[in-house]
Amino acid sequence: MADLPAFDTKMSDAEGLMWRMEKDPHLSSTFANVTILDKLPDMKRFLRRMERATLAVPRLRQRVQSAPANLGPPTWVDDSTFDIHHHVRHIAVPKPGTIRQLLDLASLIMADPFDRARPLWTFYVVEGLRGGQCALVEKLHHTIADGEGMVKLSLAFLDFAADTPEPAPIDPQAFAAAAEHSSLSGSEILRDLVTASLRMPLGVLRQARELISDPRHIPGAGTAAAETIRSVISQLSDVDQAKSPLWTERSLRRRIEVLRAPYAETRAVATKLGGKLNTAFLTVAAEAASRYHLKMGAPVEFLRSSMAISTRSASSGANAFSLVRMLIPTGEMSIADRFTQINEAAQTARGGSGSASLETLAAVASTLPTSLVTRLARTQGQTIDFATSNVRGAPVAMYVAGAQLLENYPVGPLGGVAFNLTLLSYFGSLDMGVNIDSAAVAEPQLLRTCLVGAFDDLLAL
């Protein structure tokens, strides 16, 4: 369990921002994994493992408690009414049990908001798939962990062999004692409310709030923190609209598509072309977007993408990532030339990602009313055509309560963009989930076809 991320009592600024933004359902930060299993897990054994996991990882038994008047970050407190049966559910799809039925079910599960009075996760064991297969739909709120954090968290309930002996049980009394010891006293809460406002200098926060309210004063900002202020304002003031002439509508209608590609071959092509796996992933996304627009009769030279970049270190908490935006070429060209251009654009984007980090932006946002924060976030979402994320998973076969994981598709949050393409490597494969706003992408199956074709052509190199 030493590999688990560090879970703090208080949310970070970025986590608090994700929590507040959900006042607008378009900005939900819920994500999921759709895992295909070779058979139905032993449900009694799985419930025991998950019960143990919630004791080994106390975050899974905690709910969110907001600070009075939002004067500080939300905190995590023990849920005294925790019931494992509320969070681990067993359902089935009707015949014929297709993957399309499973994905449609997963999209509904993901769209259903969490009960904010309970811990923010739910797992669904779904049986009834063709061939005796089963699925596990893991739904998690982003404030608990990011994609990489979730991979580490899954070590609490996954095994490396089907017949792995169950670990020794954890004494619930020991958990209760630890929870009581870690709870905040009234004086500590008051102290945290005071110190929370000092995470950035008061003058910086006050000036940031004033500048966001009236950007005409930006040229006159002359404090020592002026460069930080200008970086924050530059990002928040970036309201250049997304580039697609097709993906202009936004809604709460969702469709999930999935696809796979071989890990070793894709990495070899990326190395041959002078880049890394992530560049190959972005190139495929750009190539597919280009083909989609051509087939729909609306070619476009550039699209705007956001890319999640891990900032994880040995001391990182549950969420450790930043987001960068970049223009990617989608005009007609060879896929090799597209790779080269995207490799350069990605390196430039990574190099410029530190001027105003996600935590800095979130710290400034913490001083603003929630209504303004959600309005700014919606505006920022409208500057992006699609989002991408790449998570490293297990290179070997994994098992859950005796059932083997065959495929493992991540489904990332949309946050106001047309679609989110997320990649999770698993056991020699690149498993990808595409979370699509079906009002924006009118032909989601065509988008998947374009993605598959783009991967085929890249691998042909």
Can you give the pLDDT at residue 218? 44
For the chain, domains (ranges, CATH) are 13-193 (3.30.559.10), 202-236 (no CATH), 254-388+431-459 (3.30.559)
- 147, 423 in Cβ contact below 8 A? no
| CA–CA dist 383, 18 (Å, integer) | 18
Can you give the pLDDT at residue 355? 43
Can you give the pLDDT at residue 374? 74
Three-state SS for the chain is CCCCCCCCCECCHHHHHHHHHCCCHHHCCEEEEEEEECCCCCHHHHHHHHHHHHHHCHHHHEEEECCHHHCCCCEEEECCCCCHHHHEEEEECCCCCCHHHHHHHHHHHHHCCCCCCCCCEEEEEEECCHHHCEEEEEEEECCCCCHHHHHHHHHHCCECCCCCCCCCCCCHHHHHHHHHHHCCCHHHHHHHHHHHCCCCCHHHHHHHHHHHHCHHHHHHCCCCCHHHHHHHHHHHCCCCCCCCCCCCCCCCCEEEEEEEEEHHHHHHHHHHCCCCHHHHHHHHHHHHHHHHHHHCCCCCCEEEEEEEEECCCCCCCCCCEEEEEEEEECCCCCHHHHHHHHHHHHHHHHHCCCCCCHHHHHHHHCCCCHHHHHHHHHHHHCCCCEEEEEECCCCCCCEECCEEEEEEEEECCCCCCCEEEEEEEECCEEEEEEEEECCCCCCHHHHHHHHHHHHHHHHCC
| CA–CA dist 172, 178 (Å, integer) | 10
- 285, 451 in Cβ contact below 8 A? yes
The model carries a pTM of 0.84
Pairing outcome for strands 121-127 and 88-92: parallel
Can you give the pLDDT at residue 66? 84
Backbone angles phi, psi at 159, to 5 degrees: -125, 165
Can you give the pLDDT at residue 20? 83
Q: What is the mean pLDDT of each run of 10 residues along the chain (461 residues)?
A: 68 83 88 97 96 93 84 87 97 97 97 94 98 97 86 90 90 61 45 41 50 49 47 55 93 97 97 95 97 98 88 68 86 96 87 54 64 72 90 94 98 94 96 97 98 97 91
Can you give the pLDDT at residue 16? 83
Can you give the pLDDT at residue 210? 53
CA 76 to chain centroid, in Å, comes to 20
